[in-house]
């Protein structure tokens, strides 16, 4: 179980993905434990703030799989470069 790490991220979903269990699918495939802290969903867009726990490699792959699907994955800090 060594080598596990966490990432705090904000996911923004386009409307066509709001109803799909994308987080569950990603979590199962890459052995990632998601811990949802905040969520807001409207008719046109969804926003999910959560902590992901897994190995560095799996987190990277899991996040990439979400990005590929069209979900925006950002740091909860927002963009840091000002």
Partner 1 sequence: MGFVKGLKCRECGREYDADPVYVCEFCFGPLEVAYDYKGIKKVLTRKKIESRELSLWRYKELLPIDGEPQVGLTSGFTPLIKADNLAKELGVKELYVKDDTVVHPTLSFKDRVVAVALTKAKEFGFDTVACASTGNLAHSVSAHGAKAGFKRYIFIPASLEASKIAASLVYAPNLVAVDGNYDDVNRLCSEIANKYNWAFVNINIRPYYAEGSKTQGFEIVEQLGWKAPDNVVVPCASGSLLTKIWKSLKEFQEIGLLKDVNTKVFSAQAEGCNPIATAIKKDTDIIVPVKPDTVAKSLAIGNPADGFYAFKCVKDSGGHGDDATNEEIIEGMKLLARTEGIFAETAGGVTVAVARKLIKSGKIKKNGSTVLCITGNGLKTQEALQGHMGEPYHIKPNLEAFEKVLKQNREKK
Binding residues (CB under 8 A) for partner 1: these are: 8, 10, 12, 37-38, 40, 42, 44-47, 49, 51, 72, 74-82
Do 11 and 72 meet the contact criterion of CB atoms below 8 Å apart? yes
DSSP-assigned beta bridge partners for residue 50: 9, 36
Phi, psi of 72 (to 5 degrees): -85, 125
The residue assigned the tokens 């596990």 is 4
Could you tell me which residues come within 8 angstroms of residue 21 by beta carbon, excluding any fewer than 6 positions away? none
Closer Cβ to partner 1, 28 or 37, answer by number = 37
Q: How far is the CB of 41 from partner 1 (least distance, A)?
A: 9
Q: How far is the CB of 43 from partner 1 (least distance, A)?
A: 9
Q: How far is the CB of 31 from partner 1 (least distance, A)?
A: 21
Closer Cβ to partner 1, 28 or 67, answer by number = 67
């Amino acid at each position: 179980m060594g080598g596990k790490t966490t990432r705090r991220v904000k996911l923004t979903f386009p409307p066509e993905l709001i109803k799909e269990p994308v987080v569950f699918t990603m979590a199962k495939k890459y052995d990632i434990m998601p811990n949802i802290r905040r969520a807001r969903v409207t008719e046109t867009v969804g926003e999910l703030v959560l902590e992901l726990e897994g190995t560095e490699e799996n987190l990277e792959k899991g996040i990439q799989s979400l990005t590929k699907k069209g979900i925006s994955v950002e740091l909860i800090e927002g963009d840091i470069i000002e």
